[in-house]
Structure 1
């Protein structure tokens, strides 16, 4: 697979805007480990190898275990994730596939039970941002590091 274009060269201002919002996520009160799981899960659903490689490396550097990374694609069957992480992952799955799921009340109830309203907004923003990155990386065939 060959990259289609360098999005940072093609439109630096647009990419800087996305980078700026991405960097802000770390200041909105959600745990770094949770954010990395969300990024990994959305990237799995979207088939974004570049983002999977990047966020797996980031998660490992932050102390995430190999087993939790391996089982992330079947998180609902594993007891390795906390109730808070499970709610975040369910919300990630639902919003990443929003055309199919329509963000059901049952999933929202899980999120509302684990996250404050401000955290719900931050989590939804994190899911939105990683889905945006996935679309850029998949669309322009960004190559992952080796």
Structure 2
């Protein structure tokens, strides 16, 4: 395999800007009252869709450290079929999925309407920014082929 450019090392000023965006987004998520564990599950779901092994492992560990159960972590990939998530959590998961899959339907009105029926404007704002930022991180890790070893 060809050696990849490590985006963080090659352009540390850009990497630092994404870290600053991460902090601003995390502050917004906390201000909106979104539980830390749920925020990691939302990041985990986007990372699963994007097949970002580095971020899947990291947010699984972070979710556990935040008090999420192993059952909820295991079920996030199949949240549609499970009873583990509240209406608000399901709306947030659906919105993160729609934003992650933006090329497939442009965040359908139905996904946004579902979110608006269960989440406040502040919660929607926080979830949307969370989706934007985790998708950026997924692309950084995937493009750079961040190693994921046991």
Structure 2 residue aligned with 1:78: 82
Q: Which residue of 2 aligns with 1:27?
A: 27
Larger RCO (CA under 8 A, 6+ residues apart):
1
Q: Give the TM-score taking structure 1 as reference length.
A: 0.93
**What 5-or-longer segments of structure 1 have no aligned partner?**
none
Which 4+ stretches in 1 moved above 3 angstroms? none
Q: Shift of residue 31 of structure 1?
A: 2.0
CA contact (8 A) 1:36 1:58 kept: yes
Aligned Cα RMSD in Å?
1.5
What SS does the aligned partner of 1:119 have? helix
> 1:129 and 1:77 mapped to 2: Cα distance?
26
Q: Is the 8 A contact 1:88 1:123 kept in 2?
A: yes
Q: How many angstroms does 1:25 deviate by?
A: 2.2
The total of aligned residue pairs comes to 146
1:111 aligned counterpart, secondary structure: helix
Structure 2 runs not aligned, ≥5 long: none
Q: Which residue of 2 aligns with 1:124?
A: 128
- State the 1:2 CA deviation: 7.5
Normalised by the length of structure 2, the TM-score is 0.90
Structure 1 distance, partners of 2:110, 2:91, is 10
Q: CA deviation at 1:26?
A: 2.3
Q: CA deviation at 1:145?
A: 5.6
